[in-house]
Amino acid sequence: MKKIYLVVLLIVSQTFAQTEDEKQMRKIYDAALDNGKAYDWLNYLSNQIGGRLSGSVQAQQAIDYTKAQMDSLGLDRVWLQPVMVPKWVRGTPEFAYMETSPGNTTNIPICALGGSIPTYGRGIKANVIEVHSIEELKTLGKEKISGKIVFFNRPMDPTSVNTFEAYSGAVDQRGKGAAEAGKYEALGVIVRSMNLRQDDFPHAGGMNYGDIPEAEKVPAAAISTNGADLLSATLKLNPNIQFFFKLNCKTLEDVESYNVIGEIKGSSNPDEIMVVGGHLDSWDLGDGSHDDGAGCVQSMEVLRILKKTGYKPKRTIRAVLFMNEENGLRGGRKYAELAKTKNENHIFALESDSGGFTPRGFSFDASEENIKQAESWAKLFEPYYVHMFVKGFSGADISPLKNDKIVLAGLRPDSQRYFDHHHAENDTFEHVNRRELELGAAAMTSLVYLFDKYGIQ
């Protein structure tokens, strides 16, 4: 009889808890959808400040603006965390054309890849050799590559429903292509944009020379998908065409910048810290609305919603707007370094860096026990069409916090349109849907609420 009583008591307790959770999540979604601030904050970041390249004036303006907004929320603490960041500048606009015969040219849309050296002098003009992988360079060897421009033309896999998997399968040519081509005495590198759509927007992104000698460094640029297809088709007809491109970028000395941090102190377990964040820097071609202005304003909105709904977190909740994710990850690494130095106990971190599209769920980098715990809450999210709870990558900026105990999570919006805008001129405010952005903020707040209430396993 006693066992039956305990079982009934447990069921009643769980039912009551479930009801309370449902009520709190409804409050969270109402606060986000009825009078949310994320869209207005993003409007200012995008249209009044614009692209926020690490180390730029616009990046500092974004720091000042987001700190002021978090100050206005009545948080327990708001502060700037200094971090030294690289300062790479694009310079005057890039220019490129292909020449099929003397004087017969066609302009091609390109942009310098972040971290590239410039094309010194008047630019580079040479024959082109098309390849589809870094491994192919080894097969061709120096004899066929020396003195030419290497054209990496491996597209993202259109059959991959998860577009981030398609991106991962192609991005190595952007990141390492120039370093590898330089070993074979190439003059420069042109890389097909990481984009599943056919358009005329070249997509920027970071590249790295690694530790190769200065003499082997070659300039690198992205070419639009339409431009890549035109160049490839023309090469098949006439392998002897010439390609010209001019880049005016350069790398300056590192400068001081900041992570922006706002905090609500925990009521009963203040030494247990939970982080929600995105990266404040962006590439400079567009205004960085999806990548990652959306993640930043959603993270700020988490703190606002918790206060708006009157929820008193047990644990300390921080919104961290990281600086320099795009070309260095200095902000994420500095935050983790200082957390370790201060012996701070981070138990949970959630990142939004996949655009402001309709939320579909979360990915978790955590123990099996904690993933099962998160999966047990899936039914709470079903009324909001958030159904995907999977094991996987969380986010670049929170990854340095990883240890054996922490739960790392990533918001997973619908990914089909993300790479249409990623790192490109059309990553602009007009392409962000207000309700999709707000729904993402509500989903994030709900997950933070549940992990705060129940803790980690």
Q: Tokens at residue 249, please?
A: 């970028």
pLDDT in tens, 78-119: 999 999 999 999 999 999 999 999 999 999 999 999 999 999
Average pLDDT over every residue of 145-166: 97
pLDDT for the residue numbered 19: 87
Active-site annotation holds for 180: no
> Who has greater pLDDT, 5 or 75?
75
Q: Is 234 exposed, middle or buried (0-12, 13-18, 19+ CB in 10 A)?
A: middle
Options 325, 326, 351, 438, the catalytic residue? 325
> Do residues 54 and 323 touch, judged by C-beta distance below 8 A?
yes
Average pLDDT, the chain: 95
pLDDT for the residue numbered 8: 41
What lies within 8 Å, CB to CB, of 324 at 6+ separation is: 54, 55, 83, 85, 86, 257, 279, 281, 330, 331
Average pLDDT over every residue of 410-439: 98
Residue 300 parent element (H or E): helix 294-308
DSSP string, 335-374: HHHHHHHTT-EEEEEEE--S-SS-EEEEEEES-HHHHHHH
Q: Tokens at residue 404, please?
A: 């054996």
- In this structure, the number of other CB atoms found within 10 A of the CB of residue 39 comes to 20
Give percent above pLDDT 90 in the chain. 95
How many whole angstroms separate alpha carbon 409 and alpha carbon 391?
A: 9
Confidence category of residue 16, pLDDT binned at 50, 70, 90: low
Report the relative pairing of strands 77-89 and 250-264 from DSSP bridges: antiparallel
Strand partners, 110: 223
CA 262 to chain centre: 20
> Who has greater pLDDT, 18 or 412?
412
pLDDT for the residue numbered 414: 97
> Do residues 293 and 42 touch, judged by C-beta distance below 8 A?
yes
pLDDT for the residue numbered 11: 45
Whether the bond between 292 and the residue before it is cis, its omega within 30 degrees of 0, is: yes
Residue 164 pLDDT exceeds 90: yes
pLDDT for the residue numbered 310: 96
> Do residues 431 and 419 touch, judged by C-beta distance below 8 A?
no
Average pLDDT over every residue of 140-165: 97
Residue 13 pLDDT exceeds 70: no
Average pLDDT over every residue of 311-329: 98
- In this structure, the number of other CB atoms found within 10 A of the CB of residue 252 comes to 10
pLDDT for the residue numbered 6: 41
pLDDT in tens, 231-268: 999 999 999 999 999 999 999 999 999 999 999 999 99
Q: Which amino acid is at 232?
A: S
Report the relative pairing of strands 124-131 and 242-246 from DSSP bridges: antiparallel
How many whole angstroms separate alpha carbon 351 and alpha carbon 276?
A: 6
pLDDT for the residue numbered 405: 94
For the chain, count helices (H), then strands (E). Answer: 13, 16
Average pLDDT over every residue of 63-81: 98
